[in-house]
Amino acid sequence: MNWIVQLYQPFFELNNWQTVIRSSEDWLLILTLVIMECLLSVDNAVVLAAQTQSLPTKIEQEKSLVYGLWGAYLFRFIIIGVGTFLIHLWEIKVAGSLYLVYLVYAYFRKQKQPKQVKKPGSKISSPHRFWRTVISIELMDIVFSIDSVLASLAISSNPVIVLIGGMIGIICMRGIAQIIARLMEKIPELNPMAYILILFIAVKLFLSIPAIDIEIPNLVFAGIVFGTILITLGIHYIRKQRA
- Among the listed residues 201, 158, 156, 161, the one whose alpha carbon sits nearest the alpha carbon of residue 39: 201
- Read off the pLDDT band of 74 (50, 70, 90): confident
- Read off the pLDDT band of 1 (50, 70, 90): low
Indicate the range of 52-61, 122-131, 141-150 predicted with least confidence: 122-131
- Is residue 87 within 8 A of residue 200, CB to CB? The reply is no
Q: b/e string for 141-163 if b means 16 or more Cβ within 10 A?
A: bbebbebbbbbbbbbbbbbbbbb
High-pLDDT (> 90) share of the chain, %: 2
Does pTM surpass 0.85?
A: no
In single-letter form, the type of residue at position 210 comes to P
Indicate the range of 49-63, 82-96, 185-199, 216-230 predicted with least confidence: 49-63
Per-residue confidence (pLDDT) for residue 124, from 0 to 100: 45
Q: What is the mean pLDDT of residues 37-65?
A: 66
Q: What is the mean pLDDT of residues 54-81?
A: 74
- Among the listed residues 162, 149, 157, the one whose alpha carbon sits nearest the alpha carbon of residue 30: 162
High-pLDDT (> 70) share of the chain, %: 72
- Read off the pLDDT band of 195 (50, 70, 90): confident
